[in-house]
Amino acid sequence: MHVHNYEKLWLGASLLLIVGFISTIVYGAAGAGITMVNDEGGQVNPQELGNTSGFDDPGVTKVGPNEYEVHVVGIQFAFQPSTMEVPANSTVTFYVTSRDVVHGFEIVGTNANTMVIPGEVSKITVEFDEPGEYGIVCHEYCGAGHHSMAAELTVTEPSNFTMQDDTQTQTGGNETTNATATPSGGESA
């Protein structure tokens, strides 16, 4: 069978396009440090979060030099805590779970993005190189107030970073650490 040269050219070009499309999908799924959230975070009883280590007092905990853990609970229609602060150039591991229905957890502008399922702990590790403000949104429709379900993450200059008081108590007692004032203040005297 005779195939015209012009037709061969088009066949070749369309094959190239198909290979190109497959490559972009493979790169998007496996390249650029992208990994799926798996079940490594473990399981919890959503009714017992108040008695579950980490989720009984959600927030930021220092676990090593430049290493932080953040426990977050999603509820209709908020994240606990609603504001978080970590220093730049640190490794931050988020443990996120839900008390009621399926929620989403996305740190806008990063590739940190997971479903939040009651009973499951979604574990994501993020490295923030630059100080900045990040919005955290719920991106799984969870009910009438879904659109208002958001939180805020502040990545501060490491030299300006001070752990908030309640987390200092967790990591080692507050007798020696109450001399430095936190920038937020918040006294109602």
Binding site residues, Cu ion, CB under 5 A = 138, 142, 146, 149
Which residues of the chain form beta strands (DSSP E)?
59-64, 67-75, 78-80, 83-87, 90-98, 103-107, 113-116, 122-128, 132-137, 150-156
Least distance to Cu ion from the beta carbon of 75, Å?
Answer: 10
C-alpha–C-alpha distance, residues 136 and 103, integer Å: 12
The residue (of 61 and 97) whose beta carbon lies closer to Cu ion is 97
The residue (of 118 and 131) whose beta carbon lies closer to Cu ion is 118
Please name which of 95, 98, 54 lies closest in space to residue 78, comparing C-alpha atoms. Answer: 98
The residue (of 88 and 124) whose beta carbon lies closer to Cu ion is 124
C-alpha–C-alpha distance, residues 169 and 178, integer Å: 10
Reported as half-sphere exposure (CB side, CA atoms, 13 A), residue 12 has a value of: 7
| Torsion sign over Cα 33, 37, 39, 43 | positive
The residue (of 87 and 104) whose beta carbon lies closer to Cu ion is 104
The residue (of 86 and 138) whose beta carbon lies closer to Cu ion is 138
Least distance to Cu ion from the beta carbon of 49, Å?
Answer: 18
Least distance to Cu ion from the beta carbon of 188, Å?
Answer: 31
Distances in Å between the Cα of 111 and the Cα atoms of 6, 30, 86, 129, 138 are 44, 13, 17, 14, 14
Quote the distance between the C-alpha of residue 105 and its chain's center.
6
Least distance to Cu ion from the beta carbon of 173, Å?
Answer: 38
The residue (of 91 and 150) whose beta carbon lies closer to Cu ion is 150
The answer to whether 114 touches 124, Cβ cutoff 8 Å, is yes
Least distance to Cu ion from the beta carbon of 132, Å?
Answer: 24
Least distance to Cu ion from the beta carbon of 11, Å?
Answer: 48
